[in-house]
Amino acid sequence: MIMKIVKITGIIVVTLVLALFAIPYFFKDQIKAKISQAINENVDAKVSFAEADLSLFENFPNATVSIGKLVIINKAPFEGDTLVSLDELKLKMSIKELFKGKNESMNIQGISSKNGLINIIFNKDGIANYDIALKNKKENDTAKSKALSLKIQQYKIENFKFKYFDEKSKIKMIIDSLNHEGTGDFAAQKLDLVTKSTAKISLDLDKVNYMRNVSLTLDAVLGIDLENSKYTFKENKALINQLPLEFDGFIQMVDAGQEYDLKFKTPTSSFKNFLGLIPSVYASRLDNVKTTGDFTIIGFAKGLYSDTTVPKFNIEIASNNASFQYPNLPKSVKNIVIDTKIINETGILNDTYVNLDKLSFSIDQDVFNAKANIKNITQNALVDAVLKGTINLGNVSKAYPIKLEKPLSGILKADVTTKFDMQSVEKSDYQNINNAGTMSLSGFKYTDENGKEMIISNALVQFNPSQVNLKQFNASTGKSDLSVTGVLENFYGFIFKNQELKGNFNMVSNQIAVSDFMTFGETKKTNPSDSEQPKQTKNAEAMKIPAFLNCTLTAKATTVLYDNLTLKDVSGKLIVKDEKVTLENVKSSIFGGIIAVNGSVSTKGKTPTFDMDLGLNQVDIAQSFTQLEMLKKIAPIAGIINGKLNSTIKFNGNLNSTTMSPDLKSLSGDLLGQLLSTTINSSNSTLLTALTSNIKFLDLKKINLNDIKAAITFKDGKVNVKPFDIKYQDIKATIGGTHGFDQSMNYSLKFDVPAKYLGSQANAIIAKLTPADAAKLENIPINALMTGSFSNPKITTDIKSAVTNLTTQLFQQQKTKLIEKGTSSLTDLINKNKKPGDTTKTVIPATKEEVKEKAKEEVTKKASDLLNGLFNKKKKVEEPTPAE
d(CA 848, CA 6): 145
Where residue 257 falls among pLDDT bands split at 50, 70, 90? confident
pLDDT of residue 620 exceeding 60, the answer is yes
Is position 837 within any domain?
no
Compare 406 and 235 and report the one with higher pLDDT.
Answer: 235
Do the Cβ atoms of 768 and 754 come closer than 8 Å? no
Domain that holds residue 35: 1-131+148-168
11 in a structural domain: yes
Evaluate if residue 185 carries a pLDDT over 90: no
Q: Are 163 and 120 in contact (CB under 8 A)?
A: yes
**Per-residue pLDDT tens digits for 194-233:** 999 999 988 887 766 777 788 889 999 989 888 888 999 9
Residue in 730, 728, 737 with CA at minimum distance from that of residue 705: 728
Pair 631, 614: CB distance under 8 Å: no
Q: Check residue 140 and give its pLDDT.
A: 45
pLDDT band at 458 (very low <50, low <70, confident <90, very high): very high
- The pLDDT tens digits of the residues spanning 134-143 come to 765 544 444 4
Burial (0-12, 13-18, 19+ Cβ within 10 Å), 587:
middle
Q: Please tell me the predicted confidence (pLDDT) of residue 281.
A: 59
Residue 403 and residue 396: Cα distance in Å, rounded?
11
Roughly how many angstroms between the first and final C-alpha of the chain, as a whole number? 129
User: Where residue 789 falls among pLDDT bands split at 50, 70, 90?
Assistant: confident
**pLDDT for residue 465 is more than 70:** yes
* pLDDT tens digits for range 822-874: 555 545 555 555 556 555 554 444 454 555 565 555 555 554 554 454 444 43
| 49 within a domain of the structure (yes/no) | yes
Q: Which residues contact 375 (CB under 8 A, 6 or more apart)?
A: 352, 353, 354, 381, 382
Q: Residue 45's pLDDT is what?
A: 82
Number of domains in the chain: 1
Work out the average pLDDT over 338-361. Answer: 94
Over residues 516-557, the pLDDT tens digits come to: 776 544 444 444 444 444 444 445 455 577 788 889 999 999
| Residue 299: DSSP 8-state | E
How big is the chain by its Cα radius of gyration, in Å? 47
Which run of H or of E encompasses 12?
A: helix 2-42
- Identify the CA nearest to 635 among candidates 556, 546, 747: 747
Percent of the chain with pLDDT over 70: 76
Angstrom distances, CA of residue 875 to CA of 759, 767, 804, 826, 878:
15, 18, 17, 38, 9
Mean pLDDT across the chain:
79
Confidence of residue 876 (pLDDT cuts 50, 70, 90): very low
pLDDT exceeds cutoff 70 at 584: yes
CA angle 679, 683, 689 (to 5 degrees): 110
799-832 and 760-767 are packed helices; what angle lies between their axes, rounded to 10 degrees?
A: 10
- What's the mean pLDDT in 56-62? 66
On whether residue 872 sits in a domain, the answer given is no
Q: For residue 863, is it within any domain?
A: no
pLDDT at 631 (0 to 100): 85
Residues 6+ away with beta carbon under 8 Å from 106? 34, 93, 97, 100, 147, 148, 149
pLDDT of 493 above 90: no
Q: What is the pLDDT of residue 211?
A: 76
24 inside domain: yes
Helices (DSSP H) in 731-783: which residue ranges?
760-767, 771-775
Bigger pLDDT: 281 vs 190: 190
Pick from 204-208, 427-431, 626-630, 849-853: least confident: 849-853
Element spanning 339, H or E: strand 333-344
3-state secondary structure of 806: helix
Mean pLDDT of 318-338: 91
pLDDT of residue 37: 66
Mean pLDDT of 336-351: 94
The answer to whether residues 774 and 810 touch, using CB atoms and an 8 Å cutoff, is: no
Determine which of 23-27, 296-300, 354-358 has the lowest per-residue pLDDT on average. 23-27
d(CA 394, CA 742): 56
Q: Which residues pair with 677 in a beta bridge?
A: none
Residue range 71-107, pLDDT digits in tens: 888 888 888 898 889 898 888 877 666 666 656 666 7
Q: Are 114 and 158 in contact (CB under 8 A)?
A: yes
Interatomic CA distance for residues 603 and 652, integer angstroms? 14
pLDDT tens for 290-319 read: 989 999 999 999 999 888 899 999 999 999
Answer yes or no: is pLDDT of 354 > 90: yes
Average pLDDT over every residue of 633-661: 82
> Average of pLDDT values for 687-691?
80
CA within 13 Å, CB half, 437 = 16
- Any domain includes 90: yes
pLDDT tens digits, residue range 364-395? 999 999 999 999 988 888 999 999 999 999 89
> Is residue 140, in this structure, part of any structural domain at all?
no
pLDDT at 243 over 50: yes
The residue among 669, 529, 540, 688 whose CA lies nearest residue 599 is 669
pLDDT of 650: 92
